[in-house]
Amino acid sequence: MDIALIGLAASGKTTLLHALAAGHLPGGHTSPTETAMAVVKVPDERLDRLAAAVSARKTTYLELRLMDFPGFSVGRKGPPPQLLGTLSTADLLVHVVRSFSEESIPHPLESIDPDRDIAALELELIFADLAVVERRTERIQVEARSLAAGARGPLDRELALQRRLKEALEAEKPVRSLGLTAEEKTLLSGFNLLTGKPLLNVLNIDEADAPRTAEIEAAAREKHAGPDADVIAIAAKAEADVAELPADEAAEFRRELGLPEQAAAERLLQETVSLLGLITFYTVGPQDTHAWSVSAGTPAVKAAGRIHSDIERGFIRAEVIDSADFLEAGSHAEAKRRGNQRLEGKTYEVREGDVINVLFNV
């Protein structure tokens, strides 16, 4: 899964990347004009405990790819088309919004106004989508003309959908707010509409405001949370500094600064997994205890395919234990003895936190 960090210049994108990927990045800040990339592991306490229960030699976390994009210009100039093009492959957008005051760092729009910046960037994404939708609408109309009236059904249906999108975008509504059905989403999947992607707004707040994080987030959620959209507040610079410290010093520092107990990286990455509509299941063993992700509603046989294509092909059934039960029991054998293990077939929809052992035959 690819996560794109976007936002105005000097909003703190690169600083946030450092807070999220401390230790996984080449030294120094990346240049303001280049896209940097980091692969980060999603912290998962439940996975840690499962691994500890079986003394796993290896623990494998979910991984996300973070891309730190150059600053977005908004308004008359707008963002360059190639920047918007590269964004289209992202699975989720993280908009880093300047909320810190620091006078020595100029804001491209000259004042600190997070609500304005969120709206301005959204508008750029809306314009970009509108251009895509208009192009597609014209093309459908041309194509439809070359078909016999009886063969136009699918194109007519798509045309109706594209018109609905156009109307919404012209009213400055993002595609993600329209509550499209799974079928409609599939129909649109090739167009990579930017406002159809889930969006996490990150308010980059002053260190001095860190003790009020929860309060700031609650107020911002009222305005900016919605379907597939959320907002969190992070003091990116302080978090980036703390991320460099060993664990015990970090905890002390967090208390001193009044930073939330849970590290920003952990909060943001977990929020990201949930906005992506992913659920996490586990395979637990002494060699490797492993977190896997699938989209909600995935049947067990497909989930097995995430582990290995042979396991999908030879799927017989899945032994499933809820991770809370597993942790209480301490092992597969004990959970089974307690009656916590279920046998599920190919169509079983994997649930958040399942510990799964697939029986297969190849």
Span of 128-136, 157-165, 235-243, 318-326 interacting with ligand GDP by CB under 6 A: 235-243
Going by C-alpha positions, the residue among 75, 85, 92 that lies closest to residue 198 is 92
End-to-end CA distance of the chain: 30
Residue among 11, 14, 201, 323 that touches Mg ion (CB under 5 A):
14
Span of 82-90, 94-102, 151-159, 316-324 interacting with ligand GDP by CB under 6 A: 94-102
Q: Cβ closer to ligand GDP: 70 or 174?
A: 70
178 binds, among Mg ion, ligand GDP, none (CB under 5 to 8 A by kind): none
Residue among 235, 268, 321, 329 that touches ligand GDP (CB under 6 A):
235
Residue among 11, 280, 283, 289 that touches ligand GDP (CB under 6 A):
11
Q: Is 37 helix (H, G, I), strand (E, B) or coil?
A: strand
299 binds, among Mg ion, ligand GDP, none (CB under 5 to 8 A by kind): none
Q: Cβ closer to ligand GDP: 52 or 105?
A: 105
- Return d(Cα 97, Cα 233) in angstroms, integer: 9
Q: Cβ closer to ligand GDP: 16 or 161?
A: 16
257 binds, among Mg ion, ligand GDP, none (CB under 5 to 8 A by kind): none
359 binds, among Mg ion, ligand GDP, none (CB under 5 to 8 A by kind): none
Q: Cβ closer to Mg ion: 12 or 260?
A: 12
Nearest residue to the partner Mg ion, using Cβ: 14
- Return d(Cα 107, Cα 168) in angstroms, integer: 31
Span of 4-12, 139-147, 245-253, 279-287 interacting with ligand GDP by CB under 6 A: 4-12
237 binds, among ligand GDP, Mg ion, none (CB under 5 to 8 A by kind): ligand GDP
Residue among 3, 7, 21, 350 that touches ligand GDP (CB under 6 A):
7
- Kindly write out the interface string for residues 186-215 of this chain, putting x where it contacts ligand GDP by CB under 6 A and - elsewhere: ------------------x-----------
Residue among 6, 10, 175, 329 that touches ligand GDP (CB under 6 A):
10
Residue among 105, 131, 316, 359 that touches ligand GDP (CB under 6 A):
105
- Nearest distance, CB of residue 325 and Mg ion, angstroms: 45
- Return d(Cα 231, Cα 221) in angstroms, integer: 6
Return the residues of window 58-77 that contact ligand GDP according to CB under 6 A.
Answer: 71
Write the secondary structure of the chain as one string of H (helix), E (strand) and C (coil). Answer: CEEEEECECCCCHHHHHHHHCCCCCCCCCCCCCCCEEEEEECCCHHHHHHHHHCCCCEEECCEEEEEECCCECCCCCCCCHHHHHHHCCCCEEEEEEECCCCCCCCCCCCCCCHHHHHHHHHHHHHHHHHHHHHHHHHHHHHHHHCCCHHHCHHHHHHHHHHHHHHHHHHCCCCHHHHCCCHHHHHHHHHHCCHHHCCEEEEEECCHHHHHHHHHHHHHHHHHHCECCEEEEEECHHHHHHHHCCCHHHHHHHHHHHCCCCCCHHHHHHHHHHHHCCEEEEEECCCCEEEEEEEECCCEHHHHHHHHCHHHHHCEEEEEEEEHHHHHHHCCHHHHHHCCCCEEECCCCECCCCEEEEEEECC
Contact 133, 165 (CB under 8 A): yes
| Residue 106 in contact with ligand GDP, rule: CB under 6 A | no
Residue among 3, 4, 6, 15 that touches ligand GDP (CB under 6 A):
15
- Kindly write out the interface string for residues 150-189 of this chain, putting x where it contacts ligand GDP by CB under 6 A and - elsewhere: ----------------------------------------
Could you list the residues that contact ligand GDP (CB under 6 A)? 7, 9-15, 29, 32, 71, 96, 100, 102, 105, 204, 235-237
